[in-house]
Amino acid sequence: MPTYHKPEAKTIQELKDIAHKLRIDSINATQASKSGHPTSCASIAEIMSVLFFNTMRYKLSAPRDPSSDRFILSKGHAAPILYAAWAEAGLFPVEDLMNLRKIDSDLEGHPTPRLNFIDVGTGSLGQGVAVACGMAYVGKNLDKADYRTYVLVGDGESAEGSIWESLHFAGYYKLNNLCVIFDVNRLGQSEATSLQHQMEVYRKRLDAFGFNAIVVDGHDVEELCKAFFEAASTTDRPTAIIAKTYKGKHFPNIEDLENWHGKPLGDAAADVVAHLQKQIRNPGPIALAPPSPQKESAPKVSIKGVELATPPAYQKGEQVATRLAYGTALAKIAMNNDRVIALDGDTKNSTYSDKLRKAFPERFIECFIAEQNLVGVAIGAACRDRTVAFVSTFATFFTRAFDQIRMGAISQTNVNFVGSHCGVSIGEDGPSQMGLEDIAMFRAIPGSTVFYPADAVSTERAVEMAANTPGVCFIRTSRPNTAVIYENNEKFEIGKCKVVKQNANDSVLLIGAGITLYEALKAADELEKSGIHCRVIDPFTVKPLDQEGIIKHGAQCGGRVVVVEDHYKQGGLGEAVLSALAEQRNFVVKHLGVDKLPRSGPPTVLVDMFGISARSVAAAVQEIIKM
Amino acid sequence: MPTYHKPEAKTIQELKDIAHKLRIDSINATQASKSGHPTSCASIAEIMSVLFFNTMRYKLSAPRDPSSDRFILSKGHAAPILYAAWAEAGLFPVEDLMNLRKIDSDLEGHPTPRLNFIDVGTGSLGQGVAVACGMAYVGKNLDKADYRTYVLVGDGESAEGSIWESLHFAGYYKLNNLCVIFDVNRLGQSEATSLQHQMEVYRKRLDAFGFNAIVVDGHDVEELCKAFFEAASTTDRPTAIIAKTYKGKHFPNIEDLENWHGKPLGDAAADVVAHLQKQIRNPGPIALAPPSPQKESAPKVSIKGVELATPPAYQKGEQVATRLAYGTALAKIAMNNDRVIALDGDTKNSTYSDKLRKAFPERFIECFIAEQNLVGVAIGAACRDRTVAFVSTFATFFTRAFDQIRMGAISQTNVNFVGSHCGVSIGEDGPSQMGLEDIAMFRAIPGSTVFYPADAVSTERAVEMAANTPGVCFIRTSRPNTAVIYENNEKFEIGKCKVVKQNANDSVLLIGAGITLYEALKAADELEKSGIHCRVIDPFTVKPLDQEGIIKHGAQCGGRVVVVEDHYKQGGLGEAVLSALAEQRNFVVKHLGVDKLPRSGPPTVLVDMFGISARSVAAAVQEIIKM
């Protein structure tokens, strides 16, 4: 291990001074905004000072430089001091801090990447470590670069299980380029934290999770400098710096007291600021400059223009599960771009993401059964455009990570989610394994794109498009085999439906997706025998939905629409169609979906029992034809 | 500590025999169903034998007897051996096991409470410990009874952070009546688990989380008997029994091998069964009877007929936040029923659940910042009708527990969820704290009831109704104050809207809820000045929605409907209205909702900026009036 050299006394003093300046900035900003969390800032003032003015290597000229160290403030409510650190370092004028939380300022209540120095949104607690793990994993294994990743976690949020998923991941993959700092300030929002200042308990837990666990006085800049040095010199494990701190440190009559969470200091502010100013030895400009990255260690990469290495190659009518086509496409897009990666949570042999692992083992990240971390790692891996990440598990298990996906949208992530085993058509495994709310969930993510391909050809194209589409993409794949219905050279567009059956005299428009497209087709064929002609469309994307196409074809069918989906009736394809038609008079829609809790049984029996088979579609057509 | 007496040799032998019988039952059942997880059953055969025939005290005559020990199979995919244990104990004929996973059998692929011996559905991994914690907490602190709670966890699922939230909870509350058994069988679904057989790592982690951690040979019935005795004799802590086991134990050529997850044995079955039969010394009927509970230790309780102790007492026009009215109502319903409890995740001073804590501290469970465990504990606490549980946090943080809530529906839970801080109207804290997908989420829960009260009076009644309504209930509360608009004696019904403004010549129907009801009213008042009359309705419940009322009033307004909501446009009130009108020709709906990622700012500014203020409602009316 390299030898530690204590910083000069002058540096130590300046780091102390900076900590107090950051405290004052945080107080002033939250006074101006009349809301915010100054006491949560105060407990980390020395940590921020040491990180931003002594330890981290980064460029003010390029805050998202790929070779720079990363910093994630997992306890996002301490945003004011993060903004203050960047301002005091010189990124923007300190006076701008007074715009905190204003409608026309990007200095929001919690950090978001609207700011050029923020990688991910934080504020929903317990998510920063997963993101940091994704960054550190990429840094170590893909970039093979020397940048380090720091993540600052509150003690309150360390009760979140997601944190422990991520710590386990970091320990398992020996992410020695990761440093997790715990701000153990003893106080939560509404009472003391469960562990308060039991530093030894934290140490034991982190040690058991595979970390080099160092307990420090979080208000002692010297101890912090040394601990960060030790972290950077530890080669076999990630490091946890467990900092004993006090909420509202150096705020007289406020420090370590309850009932000061999330409140500006109000009338107490002036006295506190005066007190803090007295602690500062050198009130002049800050002399310390942030250390720069030693070299451009991260390789230049491109994540644009991802393409299938070879076009889809199926026979029409061939029976292929869309989940299998996903695996095939994933391996194909990975051939031409070495930044395509896949992550899974021990379901890779069911989702078929293992096809990428077989082809490119170094680009597959097994995250084991821990979906929150799985999603967070993917978001971290995709930061700064380092990778094109595809993350897969059973569709319904993404509910486990809904909060992470929601925050992913705030983080402007481009991660692609692939959920297999949707709907009652999975069969015997029963309701716990059936994705029946996944479309509702992903539709409610701002800016998301939701693909629901019915056959293997469209699935391969969905994968290719998702890789190139900004924002959260979701691809819903099915467990049963479905017939290939598209030519291998068929062109697909996001927001454009496909008409898979039509006649001039169609009187009802049927809309199905995935397995229900086939039920709709079967019903249409059957109805044709009795002279009822139905047009059938495959939406391809549920969001955006082809509003224009549906209105046009629906109108041509007398305004009669039947939608059938293997999903609960709330928030899925049916309601997407209803939204598209909302402002149209003279439409009627029959909506078939799963409307009660399903059970175990054979797929085809369940599809029929829960009212989404061809039989039910035909019955709905017989009714709507009279409307 | 009491002295341990080793069971007689005959008992030990019989427990061994039973384990093999359970293995054979599991193989036979999964052979019959042609799907399922026999190897995952085999690793826990001795654990199940000892628990069901030596350790647990329970009644076959009343499988959900309140005084009996509880057992949760967190690794729900091992369902066949759980069913086999109950069958072999005598609850139902062993032959019935051959109906596993059939459409007309409740022996589903994963356990659900359709079976009278199952408390909660499992199968989505990592959820059993939280439920067990809820049961154990109630047993220890509310029932003050001597029943014990056992939960069996797979090693694969122990990567789920939810498990660690729960272990921390159990350690913190010193739930000495809880025993968590880890089945460390080394193999996951698609590869080995991350920790494989590193028993000492498990031991260290569990010790650090406050458990009496005992490592045993999970296939040694004597060791297991002793460990369970030690668990029951440990008074200061919960116990973790960490069992080293092998997947497919005693299945020749299958034991401890990969690629045998979730597969029946097929052609190998006959040889394996023959091999197992040879291990059985006494192939005759099982002589051991399950131990009975020593006494009726759990008190008789009633959770029916919960009522507000005093009616709402507000002045019309008074400004009261609905989140505050929630707290008031919660304390009131708790006065007349000592089984009303509240749980929160360190937001009690924001959600106002602290009003119950102040009134009845022993009935408030602080779960700290760990929402998955928070929800799981509530579900456990409500099992066997022991409590009426209300669980609160910020609405958006329930996304963290979507999977638990989803499984709650499968578990037939009656837990009531209360989400505060919905929508952009929370203001400066920004998007990470805004509930904008919570209605979409709760609507997609089968059998759920979604209340969205606009004022304090309706909120109090919503709380009272939720307490008495089966299934998942969700009450959405708002941060800003809103005017009281209802009389204190106003009657409310689930699925019945309230007309809050009407005239004979109304030409547009406005539907708002929570803060947007007031925006709709304001718009209506403004429009009236220019001669446009609008009817305004408050849905009260979004699910079920008053379809009949909306159709009737909408038709009276020329089929013109404007819906406005402080929620993303997907899956919320607007789409619920569209669903209600789906089969009506001659309606047009304008839908105002948040359609992009919001930001920090003052509440009123945000409400206007994101198009859900009175101004936008008025503009929508001006457009729709021409349609």
> Which of B36, B403, B444 is facing A440, going by the closest CB pair?
B444
Please answer yes or no on whether A588 and B589 come within 8 Å at the CB atom: no
Measured CA distances, B510 to A70, A141, B517, B586 (Å): 49, 56, 9, 17
Only one residue has tokens 């998955």, namely B372
B353, B436, B575: best to mutate for the A interface, most A CBs within 10 A: B575
CA atoms within 13 A on the CB side of B511: 32
Helix orientation angle between A79-89 and A9-33, rounded to the nearest 10 degrees: 130
Return the DSSP state at A97: G
pLDDT value, residue B294: 74
Could you identify the residue written with the tokens 């320990």?
Answer: A171
How near does any CA of chain B get to the CA of A593, in Å? 12
Both tokens of B400, joined, read 């963290």
Catalytic residues of B: 371
Q: How far apart are CA A381 and CA A428, in angstroms?
A: 35
Residue B64's pLDDT is 96
Helix-helix angle B456-468:B322-336, to 10 degrees: 40
Alpha carbons B237 and A115: distance in angstroms, whole number = 47
Q: Which two tokens stand for residue A99?
A: 């715009």
Would you say the CATH fold of A498-625 matches that of A319-484?
yes
Contacts with A625 from chain B: Cβ below 8 Å = none
Are the Cβ atoms of B570 and A574 closer than 8 angstroms?
A: no
Binned at pLDDT 50, 70 and 90, residue A163 comes out as: very high
Nearest residue, CB atoms, A101 vs list B164, B571, B600: B600
Chain B residue numbers touching A596 (CB-CB < 8 A):
446-447
- Residue A119, C-beta contacts closer than 8 angstroms, at least 6 positions apart: A64, A70, A72, A113, A131, A135, A383, A384, A411
Sign of the dihedral through C-alpha B70, B74, B79, B84: negative
Q: Where are the beta strands (DSSP E) in A23-162?
A: 70-73, 149-154
Angle between helices B9-33 and B221-233 (to 10 degrees): 100
Distance CA A131, CA A137 (A): 10
Neighbours of B196 (CB within 10 A): 14
Q: Which of A230, A371, A437, A575 is catalytic?
A: A371
How many other CB atoms sit within 10 Å of the CB of residue B248? 24
Q: What is the token pair recorded at B176?
A: 């000495």
Choose the closest CB to A428 out of B35, B168, B602: B35
Contact with chain A for residue B406, Cβ under 8 A? yes
**Tens of pLDDT, residues A69-99:** 999 999 999 999 999 999 999 999 999 999 9
Verify whether the Cβ–Cβ distance B346 to A191 is below 8 Å: yes
Are A404 and A127 contacting, i.e. CB atoms less than 8 angstroms apart? yes
Which chain A residues are within 8 Å of B605, Cβ to Cβ? 103
- CA distance linking residue B574 with residue A208, whole number of Å: 49
Q: Which residue of A has its CA nearest to B587?
A: A585
Q: Which residues from chain A sit within 8 angstroms of residue B159, using beta carbons?
A: 165, 168, 368-370
Out of 1.10.1660.10, 3.40.50.920, 3.40.50.970, 3.40.50.720, the CATH code matching A319-484 is: 3.40.50.970
Could A204 and B208 be called an inter-chain contact, meaning their C-beta atoms sit closer than 8 Å? yes
With beta carbons under 8 A apart, name residues in chain B contacting A605. 103
Task: Tell me if B444 and A403 make a contact (CB, 8 A cut-off).
Answer: no
Q: Is A321 helix (H, G, I), strand (E, B) or coil?
A: strand
What are the respective helix, strand and coil percentages of chain B, to the nearest 5? Answer: 40, 15, 40
Three-state SS for B105? coil
pLDDT at A499 over 80: yes
DSSP state of A157: G
Any idea which fold A9-279 has? Answer: Rossmann fold (3.40.50)
Q: Give A7's pLDDT tier (boundaries 50, 70, 90).
A: very high
Collapsing DSSP to helix, strand or coil, A473 comes out as strand
For A398-443, what is each residue's pLDDT tens digit? 999 999 999 999 999 999 999 999 999 999 999 999 999 999 999 9
The pair of structure tokens assigned to B543 is 């699910």
Using CB atoms within 10 Å of the CB of residue B60, give its burial: 0 to 12 exposed, 13 to 18 middle, 19+ buried: middle
pLDDT at A295: 80
Alpha helices by DSSP H, listed for A146-261, are: 161-172, 199-208, 221-233
The answer to whether A555 contacts chain B (CB < 8 Å) is no
**Yes or no, beta carbons of B369 and A587 under 8 Å apart:** no
Alpha-carbon distance of A510 to A520, in angstroms, equals: 6
Cβ under 8 Å to A: B residues 140-179: 156-157, 159-166, 168, 172
* Averaged pLDDT score across all residues of chain A: 97
pLDDT at A230 over 80: yes
Query: Count of A–B CB contacts within 8 Å?
Result: 356
- CATH class, B498-625 region: alpha beta
Q: Rounded to an integer, what distance in angstroms lies between the CA atom of residue A416 and that of residue A449? A: 9
> Please, what sign has the CA dihedral across residues A74, A78, A83, A84?
negative
DSSP structural state of residue A310: S
For A466, the token pair is 């998702």
Q: Which chain A residue's Cα is nearest to B544? A: A570
Across the interface, which of A103, A163, A432 has its CB nearest the CB of B407?
A: A432
Averaged in consecutive runs of 10 residues, what is the pLDDT profile of chain B (627 residues)?
90 98 98 97 98 97 96 98 98 98 97 98 98 98 97 98 98 98 97 98 98 98 98 98 98 97 97 98 92 88 97 98 98 97 98 98 98 98 98 98 98 98 97 98 98 98 98 98 98 98 96 98 98 98 98 98 98 98 97 98 98 98 97
Q: How far is B274 from chain A (nearest CA, A)?
A: 27
Q: How far apart are the first and last CA of chain B?
A: 80
- In the chain, the amino acid numbered B619 is A
Which of chain B's residues have a Cβ under 8 Å away from the Cβ of A264? none
B489 to chain A, minimum CA–CA distance in Å?
Answer: 33
State the amino acid at position B614 in one-letter form: A
For A366, the closest of B108, B191, B368 (CB atoms) is B191
- The residues, ordered by sequence, that sit 6+ positions from B548 with a Cβ below 8 Å of its Cβ are none
DSSP bridge pairs for A150 = A71, A179
Do the chains contact at B431 and A443, CB–CB below 8 Å? no
Most A CBs within 10 A among B410, B432, B586, hence the mutation to make, goes to B432
Q: Treating both helix axes as pointing N-terminal to C-terminal, what angle do A128-137 and A371-382 enclose, rounded to 10 degrees?
A: 60
Option in A370, A428, A444 nearest B568 (CB): A444
Chain A contact set for B559 (CB, 8 A) = 585
Tokens of A36: 């915010």
Q: Where are the domains of chain B?
A: 9-279, 319-484, 498-625
Compare CB distances from B579 to A102, A575, A585 and report the shortest one's residue: A575
The reply to whether residue A410 touches residue B432, judged by beta carbons under 8 angstroms, is: yes
Are the C-beta atoms of residues A280 and A46 closer than 8 Å to each other? no
Q: What does the pLDDT read at residue B2?
A: 83
What does the pLDDT read at residue A296? 84
- CA A513 vs CA A487, A540, A608, B67: distances in Å: 18, 7, 16, 49
Dist. CA B307–CA B320, nearest whole Å:
21
Residue A473 forms beta bridges with which residues?
A416, A449
CA-nearest residue to B625 within chain A is: A583
A446 touches chain B (CB under 8 A): yes
Please name the member of B161, B432, B569 whose beta carbon is closest to the beta carbon of A372. B161
Q: Which residues from chain B sit within 8 angstroms of residue A168, using beta carbons?
A: 159, 194
Report d(CA A401, CA A308) in Å as an integer. Answer: 29
Answer whether B396 touches A (CB < 8 Å). Answer: yes
- B207 touching A (Cβ < 8 Å): yes
Q: pLDDT-based confidence at A200, cuts 50/70/90?
A: very high
> Where does residue B262 fall: left (phi above 0), alpha (psi -120 to 50 degrees), or beta otherwise?
left
Q: Is A258 in CB contact (< 8 Å) with chain B?
A: no
Give dist(CA A382, CA A380) in Å, integer. Answer: 5
Q: Kindly give the residue spans of alpha helices, DSSP state H, lying in B60-158.
A: 79-89, 128-137
CA–CA min distance A16, chain B (Å): 30
CB A524 within 8 A of CB A511: no
Q: How far apart are the first and last CA of chain A?
A: 80
Taking residues A577-596, report their average pLDDT. 98
Among B76, B571, B591, select the one facing A444 at the smallest CB separation: B571
Decide: A53 and A286 in contact? Cβ < 8 Å: yes
Q: Do B599 and A114 touch (CB under 8 A)?
A: yes
Please report the residues numbered 267 through 296 in chain B whose beta carbons come closer than 8 angstroms to any beta carbon of chain A.
none
Q: Do the Cβ atoms of B195 and B155 come closer than 8 Å?
A: yes
Residue A585 contacts B where some CB pair is shorter than 8 Å:
yes
3-state secondary structure A247-299: CCCCCCCCCCCCCCCCCCCHHHHHHHHHHHHHHCCCCCCCCCCCCCCCCCCCC
Q: Of A51, A219, A60, A218, nearest to A148 (Cα)?
A: A51
Give yes or no for residue A294 having a pLDDT over 80.
no
Residues of B in contact with A201 (CB under 8 A): 208
